[in-house]
Structures are given as structure tokens and as C-alpha cells.
Copies of this chain bind each other. A is one copy, B any other.
């Protein structure tokens, strides 16, 4: 599996932008540089950033539509900072001790300072967005609000049975909002007509769903040594991911009793995880989810074909789509 070329093209530009946005003397700024992978915990430079998908999409889309990527950089950085502030807070909420092979912020600096660090990153995201003008701030804030609403639903879902429609609404917010925002910002920054911006957003919706459902599959059937999480980890955490919603929708009799029993209990044993996975495989849930991923990516490909992108641009977006189907983490 090759990483899409455009994910490599903007890396140094984005890293430079992050460095400027997160420059500051006090401990909090050092924590933020640690979190995004610009520094290690002793403040020494490192290069261990995440995939930078969202800001790369902003810059790629802007460039494809004839805009200026230097001018688009603050918007792209703002979006990446929103994503990263949510990761700092998610890790506290989920008690995750490790991210990208390194200790999470709360694990290294305590919960109080980690809450604070995430708060600062959210504020710095707006400071970046504000440099790009009113329309960009509005888009950024709208996406931030939707993402947090989605996170709120995801947390609330831990206590209830979730149907597929509610699940899709949740991921359209939690994961989809920032991906749609990346494409919208690209269109806005390039000054594209409103119908192009709308098509970009729709393509973002399908890509966001495909991305999240693939993530859900990896959370249950992913290879632990590649994903960094044990197999079945989403079952252990009782995440109401798509496989679970589908299993609840389809299971009956003993299988249904098992699901209800496991998902509303305090502790889940290894044996339960195996039984739930076996049940999902009997119900063909894995295949159904893979079909969903393919269907959304097919939709995205169709939308892509109508966009005024260059030939190379279409090719590179297709590389991203292939990557989203096959990615292992």
C-alpha cells in the first residue's frame, strides 16, 4: 500500500506552519509541540507528526482549484489544530495511554494540564483561522461545533442501543465535519463557485463515512501490531461502531441476548470479545461494512469526476481513495 503522493507534498509546509502557530515559551506550548510530534518530551526536535490528512486536503484542493497555497496555510493549520485539540481531549475521555507510539498528553502531564493544553490548542486554531478571514472562521467554527456534538453523541451512545441512522449522523459530525471542512475551505480559499463548493462538501461526506467505517473495521478486525490496539479493542470499550449497530439490527434469539448482555455490563472479558466477534461473523457484519466503505468511495469517485480538477489532481484523489480502502491503521 503506497501513501498517496499529495500527502507527502505539503508535509514540510504544514510542519513549518505548525511550528509558527505553536511557538510559545511556557510549558503549555511545549506540550502542544510534543503532542503534534514536533518535539519529544524533553523539547528536542523530532519528526513524528500524524498523517496530516486534513491540512493536506485543504492545500491540495486550493491548489487544484487555482488558489494560492501560501495564503491557504493558516486555514489548513487551524483545521489541523482543531483535529489535534480533539485528540488530546479524546485521549483523556477514553483513558488512552499511547498515541502514535508515544505517551498521550494526560499520561505525561496529568489530566488537569491536558485539559488546559487542549483548550489552548482550540483557541490557537481560531487565531489561525481568523488570519484567513471571516468566511474561514465561520467554516472552522461550524465544523468544530459539529465535531464536538458528534463526540457528545458518541459518549452518550455508550449507554444506549444505537441504530444505523443514528450511527451515521454521529460519524457525519464526529469524523465527517472536519473532512468536509477541509474541502469546503479549499473551495472557499480558491474562490470557487458555490456549486463546486457544494460538490466538494458532498465528496467529503462520502470520504468521511468511508474513512470512519474503515476505522471501525480496524477497531474490531485490525492487526494489533499494525494498529497499535489489541484486536477487538472497540468491543472491549463498548464503542457503538457500525459493526455493532449492524449486529444489534440483525441479531436475534441467543445472539441478541448475548449482545445486550455484553454491551450493558460493567466489565468485558476476553472470552466475551471472542463471542461477539464470532457472532458478527455469523451475521456477515464484516462484509456488510466493507461493502459500505466501497459504496461510499464509489460515490466519492463519481463526485470527483465532475470537479474541475486537473488530470493529475483526479489521479491523486483516486490514490487517496485506494488508500482509504486498504489502509491497515
Contacts and interface: CB of A to CB of B under 8 A. Distances in A.
Interface of A: 24, 26-28, 85-86, 89, 92-93, 111-113, 115-120, 122-124, 126-127, 130, 133-134, 137-138, 141-142, 144-145, 148-149, 151-153, 155-156
A74 to B, nearest CB: 13
Contact of A115 (B92, B120, B127, B145): B92
Given A86-B119, A134-B134, 15 more contacts: A26-B152, A26-B153, A27-B152, A92-B112, A92-B115, A93-B112, A113-B155, A115-B118, A116-B151, A118-B119, A126-B144, A127-B138, A127-B142, A130-B134, A130-B141
7 contacts: A28-B149, A115-B115, A120-B145, A122-B122, A133-B134, A134-B134, A137-B137
Copies in the complex: 2
B120 A149 contact: yes
B149 A26 contact: yes
Given A145-B127, A152-B120, A89 B115 contact: yes
A27 B130 contact: no
A237 to B, nearest CB: 12
Interface centre among A26, A117, A152 (most CB of B within 10 A): A152
Contacts of A26: 149, 152-153, 156
Contacts of A28: 148-149, 152
